[in-house]
Amino acid sequence: MRNSVVQTIVDKAKTDESIVLLTGDLGSNCLEIFENAYPKRYFNCGIAEQNMLSMASGLAMEGKKVFIYSIGNFNTLRVLEQIRNDVSYMNLDVNIISVGAGMEYGQLGFSHYATEDIACMRTMPNFTVMNPATKYEAVECAKKMLATKTPCYLALNKKGVEVEDTKISGNPRLIKDGKGIAIFSSGAILKEALEVSSIFEKSGINMAVYSMPIVKPLDSKNILNILSKYDYVFTLEEQTVIGGLGSALAEILAPVKGKKPPLHMFGLNDEYISTVGNRDYLRKEYKIDAKSIASKIKKIF
């Protein structure tokens, strides 16, 4: 998934000499393809992410199309002031790629979790915020970054969710059709959303599953048209429930007058995650695995 994103950037860099890539001492077995092809446009800034963001801003002001690569929490929480003042406020062509979305780096402990980044980046004006689930979505997000001149944020996993990805366009993307009930997810937790749907399918309930690779901006009219088809709407994310995908849909639904589907948000509660373990273990521990979500939905019914 991440290799496909880097390859997409490398291919474009053949004809666009303005493209440069910065890393915070990361990217072994991933970024070498860019470094080897364009050594004068590749900069390892070391473990100095705040300086890296300011350097990226300076390069963008000189007409460069800048890509930054680091782990999610280092690319956002550590450098939020630089993102706000140097990139967002100046509306620069800086594209932040954060690997290890959600709890992918669960074995490294809380310091390496990227579970608040989507919420933080959604508050930054001018930013496009993306959290793809599949390889196809990731490549499409990379193309979007390459095509735009405004700041972009991409939360990325090493590997994507394996689904029959038939290049369905749009945002949200209908991954599995259903009636009456729909679950919307963003990022790699699409795997759990599909399993939830399978659990209900055994009981004769056909639940629709949507993937939302783009969290900001959203086409409110299109989303309202989709939401209006269902009696129940659920969101699922490997992020804090405050400020993420669920909040984004709630903001769209809130001003709507008259009948609208009830919205229930599933994600990480308003608390710190102190447990260490792999992603599957952590999802079970914090009740955002398929079995736990299915149980919560049954109680709502």
Architecture of domain 173-300: 3-Layer(aba) Sandwich (3.40)
The predicted pLDDT at position 165 comes to: 63
- Give SS3 for 61: helix
Place of tokens 């860099």: 13
DSSP E strand boundaries for the chain? 19-23, 42-44, 65-71, 94-99, 128-130, 152-156, 173-176, 180-186, 207-211, 214-216, 230-240, 263-268
- Sequence-distant (6+) residues with CB within 8 A of 107 are 276, 277, 278
Residue 263: which of 294, 232, 242 has the closest Cα? 232
| Whole-Å CA distances, 60 to 57, 142, 167, 274 | 5, 18, 32, 38
Instruction: Give me the chain's average pLDDT, please.
Output: 93
The predicted pLDDT at position 167 comes to: 67
pLDDT tens for each residue of 183-199: 999 999 999 999 999 99
- Sequence-distant (6+) residues with CB within 8 A of 263 are 233, 234, 235, 246, 249, 250, 253
pTM: 0.95
Domain ranges across the chain: 2-156, 173-300
- Sequence-distant (6+) residues with CB within 8 A of 7 are 33
Residue 178: which of 118, 220, 254, 232 has the closest Cα? 232
Does 173-300 match 2-156 at the fold level?
yes
CA atoms of 280 and 284, how far apart (whole Å): 6
The predicted pLDDT at position 166 comes to: 62
CATH entry, 2-156, from 3.40.718.10, 3.40.50.970, 3.10.150.10, 3.40.50.150: 3.40.50.970
Low-confidence ranges of the chain (pLDDT < 50): none
pLDDT tens for each residue of 225-272: 999 999 999 999 999 999 999 999 999 999 988 888 899 999 999 888
| Whole-Å CA distances, 295 to 191, 196, 278, 301 | 17, 9, 22, 10
